[in-house]
């Protein structure tokens, strides 16, 4: 009898532990602890990534995303970018905000692009919402693309620059067939579940990823396996993949496989590995001139001349 009690207690404790484990890890994905806006601005300034942003012309507005969800948005331009017909939508990563996109704004302003930066759902100045790591966010991005084309009638070129979750979202949105001319995907992931699996594989417990996925479904109402850039990337939109060779979070093989998938779709694609760069650090490690050069050379190759 005593052994039955011991085994029963062990089973109950184990199950309770798995429930708590599943909830906590799913919560970190679906309702992440966000980087405070003032802290993100401070970090970008300390790293020399803010540059001339304060001198640019800016206009704040909101875009209606999927199911009426409001997305805080900022349009950034200068006298030199207005009238070029070149626009780029910049999407930030998990826990970040549109102010994390400023590091890329400076590059595109130099290349003659006006920029649209916006907060992903549940991030920045937006209302609280579940983050699905790309599935719902791709539907929001589609709305941002449509709004941008309606709002700015002089568009000749419209591209997307993404970082981490933002770049994976840009790849996923291609399955909806939006009219975009290029994508620059900085440290994208193949799929949210793949990233989770990688993290657990680092501690030789890959099987625990299934419990995190289950937690997302039970507690937060979404399946992290639905956010799958490798599966959903469609069409022949040109893509420049940039990844840190030292990225231990989203490992370089993600961009390598996505690059091959893009080419197999018939798209023009390039892959640049930045030596010494960790996750989402390519822009800071490469530096302003070199990173801007990556984009400029890519745009020239696909027929979009540098201003």
Complete domains list, the chain, with CATH: 31-191+227-301 (3.40.50.1820)
Tell me the per-residue pLDDT of 36-51, one tens digit each, with 9 for 90 and over: 999 999 999 999 999 9
Tell me the per-residue pLDDT of 228-264, one tens digit each, with 9 for 90 and over: 999 999 999 999 999 999 999 999 999 999 999 999 9
Q: 239-244 and 269-274 as β-strands: parallel, antiparallel, unpaired?
A: parallel
In whole angstroms, how large is the CA radius of gyration of the chain?
20
Confidence class for position 15, pLDDT limits 50, 70, 90: very low
List the Cα angle 117/121/125 in 5-degree steps: 65
Burial class (CB in 10 A: 0-12, 13-18, 19+), 234: middle
Q: 269-274 and 182-186 as β-strands: parallel, antiparallel, unpaired?
A: unpaired
Tell me the per-residue pLDDT of 170-187, one tens digit each, with 9 for 90 and over: 999 999 999 999 999 999
What is the pLDDT, as a whole number, of residue 7?
56
Tell me the per-residue pLDDT of 60-81, one tens digit each, with 9 for 90 and over: 999 999 999 999 999 999 999 9
pTM recorded for the entire structure: 0.93
For the chain, the farthest-separated pair of C-alpha atoms sits apart, in whole angstroms, at 83
What is the pLDDT, as a whole number, of residue 196?
86
What is the chain's mean pLDDT, rounded? 92
What is the pLDDT, as a whole number, of residue 214?
85
Q: What is the 3-state secondary structure (H, E, C) of the chain?
A: CHHHHHHHHHHHHHHHHHHHHHHHHHHHHHCCCCCCHHHHHHHHHHCCCCCCHHHCEEEEEEEECHHHCEEEEEEEECCCCCCCCEEEEEECCCCCCHHHHHHHHHHHHHCCCEEEEECCCCCCCCCCCCCCCCHHHHHHHHHHHHHHHHHCCCCCEEEEEEECHHHHHHHHHHHHCCCCCEEEEECCCCEHHHHHHHHHHCCCCHHHHHHHHHHHHHHHCCCHHHCEHHHHCCCCCCEEEEEECCCCCCCCHHHHHHHHHHHHCCCCEEEEEECCCCCCCHHHHHCHHHHHHHHHHHHHHCCCCCC
Q: How far apart are CA 305 and CA 19, in angstroms?
A: 54
Indicate whether 12 pLDDT > 50.
no
What is the pLDDT, as a whole number, of residue 18?
47
């Amino acid at each position: 009898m005593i052994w039955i009690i011991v085994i029963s207690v062990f089973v109950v404790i184990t199950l309770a532990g798995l429930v708590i484990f599943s909830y906590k890890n799913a919560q970190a994905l679906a309702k992440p602890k966000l980087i405070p806006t003032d802290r993100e601005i401070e970090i970008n300034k300390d790293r020399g990534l803010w540059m001339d942003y304060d001198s640019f012309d800016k206009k704040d507005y909101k875009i209606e995303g999927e199911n009426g969800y409001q997305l805080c948005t900022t349009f950034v331009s200068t006298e030199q970018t207005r009238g070029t017909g070149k626009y780029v939508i910049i999407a930030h990563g998990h826990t970040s905000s549109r102010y994390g996109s400023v590091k890329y704004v400076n590059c595109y302003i130099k290349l003659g692009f006006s920029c649209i930066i916006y907060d992903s759902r549940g991030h920045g100045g937006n209302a609280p919402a579940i983050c699905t790591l790309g599935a719902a966010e791709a539907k929001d991005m589609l709305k941002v693309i449509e709004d941008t084309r309606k709002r700015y009638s002089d568009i000749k070129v419209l591209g997307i620059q993404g970082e981490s979750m933002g770049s994976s979202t840009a790849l996923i949105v291609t399955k909806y067939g939006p009219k975009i001319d290029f994508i620059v995907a900085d440290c994208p992931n193949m799929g949210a579940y793949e990233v989770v699996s990688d993290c657990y594989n680092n501690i030789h417990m890959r099987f625990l990823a299934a419990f995190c996925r289950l937690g997302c479904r039970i507690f937060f109402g979404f399946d992290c396996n639905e956010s799958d850039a490798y599966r959903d990337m469609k069409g022949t939109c040109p893509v420049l993949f940039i990844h840190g060779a030292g990225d231990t979070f989203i490992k370089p093989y993600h961009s390598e496989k996505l690059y091959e998938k893009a080419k197999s779709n018939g798209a023009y694609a390039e892959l640049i590995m930045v030596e010494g760069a960790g996750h989402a650090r390519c822009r800071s490690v490469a530096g302003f001139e070199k990173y801007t050069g990556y984009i400029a050379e890519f745009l020239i190759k696909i027929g979009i001349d540098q201003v």
